[in-house]
Amino acid sequence: MYKEWEKIIQMAVRNIKRNKRRTVLSIISVGLSIMLVVVLQGLVDGLVENIIKNSIKNETGHIRITTKKYFEEINSPSSQQIVYNPESVLGYILSDVNVSMKIEFVTERIKFPVLLQYSGNNKTAVCIAGDSEKEKKLLMLDKSIIEGEYLRNKLVVKGNKKYREIIIGKKLAKMLNLKVGDTFPLMLSGIDFGVRIPSFYVRGIFETGLNMFDENVFMMNIEDAKYVLRTNGGVHEILIMIKKYKEAEKVAKYINSLLLKKDEYKNLVASDWKTTGGFVKMMYQALKIYNFLYIAITFLGSFIITNIILMTILERKREIGILKSMGFKKVQILMLFTFEGMVLGTVGSICGALLGILISIPLSIYGIDFSSSMSNMNFPMDNIVRWSINLASILSSVLLGILVSSIVSVLPSRYASKMKTVDALKSV
Amino acid sequence: MEGQLVLKGVRKVYTKGNIFIEALRNINLEIAKGEFIAIMGPSGSGKTTLLNIIGCLDIPTEGEIVYNGEQLTNLKEDTLAEYRKNNIGFIFQSYNLLPVLTVKENIELPLVIDKTISKRERETRVMELIEKVGLKGMENRYPNELSSGQEQRVAVARALVKKPLLVLADEPTANLDSQTALEIIQIMKQMNEIENTTFIFSTHDPQIEKFAKRIIILKDGMINSDTKISQ
C-alpha cells in the first residue's frame, strides 16, 4: 500500500516539475489569494482584538454583575436597577475559593446618560462613575489626560463653594466649550426621582483616540455618583476582571449558580463579556461573514489549479491510458492528479502565508490611522488599528489553501479517473 | 485448460454520430497458453480492436471473452483493471513510457501496484529484465535520453516484469529499424519459450511473421484465416 502511494506521490511531484511555467503560475495564483487572506485576517483579527479590548475595558469587564432588568433600563437617566450592598455581594462571591482564585480584581460602576449644558451649548453624554484608583487598571483614563489632571478624589473649593470633580473627553469638552478649571451645573434625576442640580469642576480633559469615548463620556468618582443619585451605596454594575479572560463564560455561569442560592441575590445576574458586549457580539457575527469571504478568496485563487490540472489531464490522456492498461484503478488515477493539485496548493499556500506575514509585520507595528474615517463614528475602536499576527489564523489559512486546492483538483481528476482506457490510449 | 483464452462470437461496433462502424464481426478464437500469435491484416481490418478486446481495454458490443473459465465480459472497470494487473502485459507501437520516470522506474511501475511482491523481489526482477533486454547501465536514464529501440526494450521489459500469462503487442516493431525490430522480436520469442508466456501481436512486418507459431489474418473485421505454423 505504502509503496504504491509513494510512487503516486513521486510521479505527481515529478509531473509538477515537468511544466515549470505552469507550476509557477498556479503557485502565484494560490499564493496571492492566501496572502490576501492572511493580510485581511490580520486586519480583522486586529480590529476584533481592539474592539474586544475596548469593550471589556469601557463596557463589560470580563464579567459584569447587574440586576436582571438592568439592560432594559440602561438608557434611563434614573435607572432603578441598582445592585445594593455591592460589598456584601462581592464578599459572598469571593468567599467561594473557586471564584476568588480566578479573579484579578473587581470594581464597581455607575453609568447614566445626561444632557450636558454649558455656555449655550448642549450635548447628550454618558457619565461613567468608578473607583478612580481601580479604574487606572481598567478604563486607564489617567494615561489619556491631555490637559489638567486625573481625578484626585477630592472636593474642589472655589470661592465659598465646593465642587465635585470630573474629567471629560476632549471632543465633548470642545463641543460644550468647557476648559480645565471650569465649573458647570448638571441637572440630575436621582433614583429617588428627586431632581438636583449639583455643580462640577473640570479637573482634566482626556483623549483616548476612541471617538465613542472622546465625544460622549465624562467620568466622576463613584462615591460622588452614589451621593448625587442617592443610590444608598448601590451601584449599577460590579465588574470582575479574571486572570484568564477565556474562562469568563465558565466563571460567570458559576457565579450565577452562587447568586441563585441566596434569595436576596436572585434578582442579580453575572454576564460574561461575550454575552453583553453589543459590539463584541456584532464582531463575532461579522467574523462568520469574513470566514466565508476567506473561503471565497481562496476558491477564486485556486480555480486556476482546476484549469491547470484539466489542461494537464488533456495533455496526458495517453499516460492515463498506459497506467490504466497496467491495472491502475480509478482511485489511484484520481489521487495522482488530486495530489498534483494538493502539492501546488500547499506550496502556494505556504509562500502566500509567508508573504502575508511579511506584509503584516510592519502593519502590526505601525498600524494604519483611521482617524479621518472614524471621526463621526461611535465605535469602540482605536483610531490607529494594528494588524494582529495570529499563528492559529495563519495556519488555518494555509490549511484552507491546501484543502480548497485539493477540492478544486478533484473535479478534473475524476474526469481522468473515469476516462475510458481505450480512448485515452488513442489520444496523441 | 489452464491459461486458455476463448472468444465467442465477438462483435464490436463503433458509433460516430449516426454512422455505425463494425470493427469486428463474429470473432471466434481459442488461444492456448504459450502460443506466439501474429495477427495480420491491412489497416482498418480490426487488429488493434481485437487486441484491445482481448486485453480488456475495450468491451465487445456482443459476444463473450472467457479466460481460464471465467467470463470477463460483464466485469466492472476496477475488476478488469485488477485482471489486467495480474494477467496481461502490453507493448505499444509508440512505446508509451512515462517521461517522468527513469528506465528502472518505468519497468518497475506495474509491480508497484502489486501488493504481493516484496521490494527485494521487485528489485531482482527489474534488474534481471534490464539485463535481458540489454539496458544494463541505463537504469537511471529518462525516456528522452534513449533511442527508439532502447525505448521499446524498456516497454517490453515493463510488459514482462510482472510475469504475465499473456502479452499483447500492438505493432511493436512498427517504428523500429529492421535490426532493432529483429532484436525486439527475439527477446519476445525468448520470453515465450522460457516463461511459456502467451504472446499475441499485431504486425505488418514479414520479418516478425517468420517467428510466429500461429498467424491469424483479419479482413474487414473478420477472421480470414487462422493458420498454425509447424516449426
Domain boundary among A228, A243, A266: A266
Smallest Cα–Cα separation from A138: which of A91, A106, A113? A106
- The answer to whether residues A198 and A129 belong to one domain is yes
Per DSSP, B229 falls in state P
State how far residue B44 is from chain A, nearest Cα, in angstroms. 14
Contacts of B96 in chain A (CB under 8 A): 318-319, 321-322, 425
Residue A375 has pLDDT above 70, yes or no: no
C-alpha cell at A4: 504504491
Q: What is the pLDDT of residue B225?
A: 92
User: What counts of helices (H) and strands (E) characterise chain B?
Assistant: 7, 10
Q: Which residues on adjacent β-strands are paired with residue B40? A: B217
Whole-number Å distance between alpha carbons of A32 and A352: 6
Distance of CA A290 to the CA centre of its chain: 12
Whole-number Å distance between alpha carbons of B129 and A45: 62
Residue A376 has pLDDT above 90, yes or no: no
Residue located via cell numbers 462613575: A129
Q: Decide if A15 and B100 are in contact by the 8 Å CB cutoff.
A: yes
Residue A320 CB contacts under 8 Å (≥ 6 apart), including other chains: A313, A333, A416, A419, A424
pLDDT-above-70 percentage for chain A:
96
Burial class (CB in 10 A: 0-12, 13-18, 19+), A339: buried
**Residue in A7, A17, A329 closest to B112 by CB:** A7
Q: What is the pLDDT of residue A195?
A: 86
Q: Which residues on adjacent β-strands are paired with residue B225? A: B217
Q: For residue B191, is it within any domain?
A: yes
State how far residue A27 is from chain B, nearest Cα, in angstroms. 21
Q: What is the tally of structural domains in chain A? A: 2
State the DSSP H helix or E strand holding residue A172, giving kind and residue range, or none if neither.
helix A170-176
C-alpha cell at B98: 512515462
C-alpha cell at B215: 498467424
Domain that includes residue A228, residue range: 69-266
The predicted model gives A393-403 an average pLDDT of 93
pLDDT digits (tens, 9 = 90+) for A9-56: 888 888 888 888 888 988 998 999 999 999 999 998 898 888 888 888
pLDDT band of A209, cuts 50, 70, 90 = confident
Smallest Cα–Cα separation from A237: which of A53, A73, A51, A81? A81
Q: What is the pLDDT of residue A427?
A: 67
CATH number of the domain encompassing residue B222: 3.40.50.300
H-type alpha helices, A316-419: 317-326, 330-366, 371-374, 391-418
Instruction: With beta carbons less than 8 A apart as the criterion, state whether A422 and A366 touch.
Output: no
C-alpha cell at A185: 451645573
pLDDT digits (tens, 9 = 90+) for A286-345: 888 888 999 999 888 888 888 888 888 888 888 899 999 988 888 889 988 898 889 989
Buried b (16+ CB within 10 A) or exposed e, B32-47: eeebbbbbbbeeebbb
Whole-number Å distance between alpha carbons of A9 and A315: 19
C-alpha cell at A405: 486546492
Q: What is the pLDDT of residue A304?
A: 85
Whole-number Å distance between alpha carbons of A236 and A127: 12
The predicted model gives A204-208 an average pLDDT of 93
Q: What is the pLDDT of residue A80?
A: 77
A236 vs A59, which has greater pLDDT? Answer: A236
Compute the CA torsion angle A40, A46, A52, A55 (nearest 10 deg).
Answer: -110
The predicted model gives A198-205 an average pLDDT of 94
- The answer to whether residues A285 and A261 belong to one domain is no
pLDDT band of B144, cuts 50, 70, 90 = very high
Q: Decide if B112 and A3 are in contact by the 8 Å CB cutoff.
A: yes
pLDDT digits (tens, 9 = 90+) for A168-189: 999 999 999 999 999 999 888 8
Smallest Cα–Cα separation from A107: which of A282, A299, A239, A5? A239
Residue B119 CB contacts under 8 Å (≥ 6 apart), including other chains: A3
For chain B, what is the mean pLDDT? 88
Q: Decide if B113 and A422 are in contact by the 8 Å CB cutoff.
A: no
Q: What is the pLDDT of residue A374?
A: 64
Q: What is the tally of structural domains in chain B? A: 1
Whole-number Å distance between alpha carbons of B195 and B160: 10
The predicted model gives A122-132 an average pLDDT of 92
Residue A1 has pLDDT above 60, yes or no: no
Instruction: With beta carbons less than 8 A apart as the criterion, state whether A238 and A108 touch.
Output: yes
Q: What is the pLDDT of residue B231?
A: 59
Q: For residue A274, is it within any domain?
A: no
- The answer to whether residues A189 and A262 belong to one domain is yes
**Residue in B78, B98, B100 closest to A330 by CB:** B78
State the DSSP H helix or E strand holding residue A243, giving kind and residue range, or none if neither.
none
Q: For residue B57, is it within any domain?
A: no
Tell me the C-alpha to C-alpha distance, in Å, between residue B41 and each of A272, A425, B206, B218.
Answer: 87, 21, 11, 5
Q: For residue B67, is it within any domain?
A: no
Whole-number Å distance between alpha carbons of A187 and A196: 6
Residue located via cell numbers 467561594: A96
Neighbours of B54 (CB within 10 A): 24
Whole-number Å distance between alpha carbons of B217 and B205: 13
Would you call B201 helix, strand, or coil by DSSP?
Answer: strand
Whole-number Å distance between alpha carbons of A332 and A324: 9
Q: For residue B23, is it within any domain?
A: no
Residue located via cell numbers 490504466: A324
Q: Which residues on adjacent β-strands are paired with residue A270? A: A65
Residue located via cell numbers 489617567: A142
- The answer to whether residues A52 and A76 belong to one domain is no
Residue A347 has pLDDT above 80, yes or no: yes
pLDDT digits (tens, 9 = 90+) for B47-75: 999 999 999 888 899 999 998 888 888 88
Q: What is the pLDDT of residue B105?
A: 92
Q: Which residues on adjacent β-strands are paired with residue B15? A: B20
Q: Which residues on adjacent β-strands are paired with residue B200? A: B37, B168
Q: For residue B32, is it within any domain?
A: no
- The answer to whether residues A213 and A339 belong to one domain is no
pLDDT-above-70 percentage for chain B:
99
A31 vs A278, which has greater pLDDT? Answer: A31
Q: Decide if A422 and B101 are in contact by the 8 Å CB cutoff.
A: no
Domain boundary among A208, A237, A266: A266
Cα-Cα end-to-end distance for chain A:
32
Q: What is the pLDDT of residue B93?
A: 83
Q: Decide if A422 and B85 are in contact by the 8 Å CB cutoff.
A: no
pLDDT band of A355, cuts 50, 70, 90 = very high
Torsion over CA: B13, B91, A331, A27 (sign): negative
Whole-number Å distance between alpha carbons of B210 and A301: 60
Whole-number Å distance between alpha carbons of A138 and A239: 10
C-alpha cell at B5: 483464452
- The answer to whether residues A287 and A260 belong to one domain is no
Q: For residue A64, is it within any domain?
A: no
Domain that includes residue B174, residue range: 38-45+76-228
The predicted model gives B201-206 an average pLDDT of 85
Would you call A150 helix, strand, or coil by DSSP?
Answer: coil
Domain boundary among A215, A236, A266: A266
Residue of B nearest to A329 (CA): B78
Please, which residues 384-403 of chain A have a Cβ atom closer than 8 Å to chain B?
none
Residue A78 has pLDDT above 70, yes or no: no
Residue B126 has pLDDT above 70, yes or no: yes
C-alpha cell at B89: 502485459
- The answer to whether residues A174 and A256 belong to one domain is yes
Residue of A nearest to B52 (CA): A422
Residue located via cell numbers 485488477: B82
Residue A262 has pLDDT above 70, yes or no: yes
Q: For residue B68, is it within any domain?
A: no
Q: Which residues on adjacent β-strands are paired with residue B19? A: B16
- The answer to whether residues A135 and A216 belong to one domain is yes
Q: Decide if A11 and B90 are in contact by the 8 Å CB cutoff.
A: no
The answer to whether B92 contacts chain A (CB < 8 Å) is: yes
- The answer to whether residues A91 and A235 belong to one domain is yes
* Backbone dihedral angles phi then psi of residue B122, each to the nearest 5 degrees: -60, -50
Residue located via cell numbers 498534483: A340
Q: For residue A47, is it within any domain?
A: yes
The alpha-carbon radius of gyration of chain A (Å, integer) is 31
Would you call A269 helix, strand, or coil by DSSP?
Answer: strand
Whole-number Å distance between alpha carbons of B86 and B128: 20
Q: What is the pLDDT of residue A225?
A: 93
Residue of A nearest to B58 (CA): A422
**Residue in A4, A14, A319 closest to B113 by CB:** A4
H-type alpha helices, chain B: 47-54, 77-87, 103-112, 119-132, 148-160, 178-195, 206-209
Q: For residue B9, is it within any domain?
A: no
The strands making up B36-40's β-sheet, listed across from edge to edge, are: B88-91, B166-170, B198-202, B36-40, B214-219, B222-228
Buried b (16+ CB within 10 A) or exposed e, B193-221: eeeebbbbbbbebeebeebbbbbbbbeeb
Q: For residue B89, is it within any domain?
A: yes
Name the residue type at position A154. Answer: K
- The answer to whether residues A151 and A35 belong to one domain is no
pLDDT band of B1, cuts 50, 70, 90 = low
